[in-house]
Amino acid sequence: MGEIKSSVKKKKKLSEPKDFKVILLNDDYTTMDFVVYVLKSVFHKSENEARRIMLYIHKKGQSVVGQYPLDIARTKEEQVHNLARENEFPLICVLEEA
């Protein structure tokens, strides 16, 4: 008897996409009110949470403001930079693999 060959292919195991931390950096020119505005409008933080994060950034120099898959993290980063540029602030946002 001949061998029977299987035409079943092994499925590749898909992994979850990596998350990236979105980090806001402190600077000496961006106003605290603008940082609060960015946290509320881009990251959907409440007024109290946005103020708490803004003060942390002011005191510590930076803070993680969200963690997202890469495409969403890049979109958030771009939104922050566009808002900052439109309002003539040097606010910087960076991404870091989680």
Residue 1 has pLDDT above 60, yes or no: no
Helices assigned H by DSSP within the chain: 32-41, 47-60, 70-86
Look at residue 62 and give its three-state secondary structure. strand
Of residues 20 and 3, more confidently modeled: 20
Rounded-to-integer distance, Cα 88 and Cα 29, Å? 10
> Which CATH number applies to 19-97?
3.30.1390.10
For the four alpha carbons of 52, 42, 80 and 47, in that order, the dihedral sign comes to: negative
Residue 6 has pLDDT above 70, yes or no: no
Assign 2 a pLDDT band (cuts: 50, 70, 90). low
Assign 14 a pLDDT band (cuts: 50, 70, 90). confident
Task: Give the tens place of pLDDT for each residue, 15-73.
Answer: 888 999 999 999 999 999 999 999 999 999 999 999 999 999 999 999 999 999 999 99
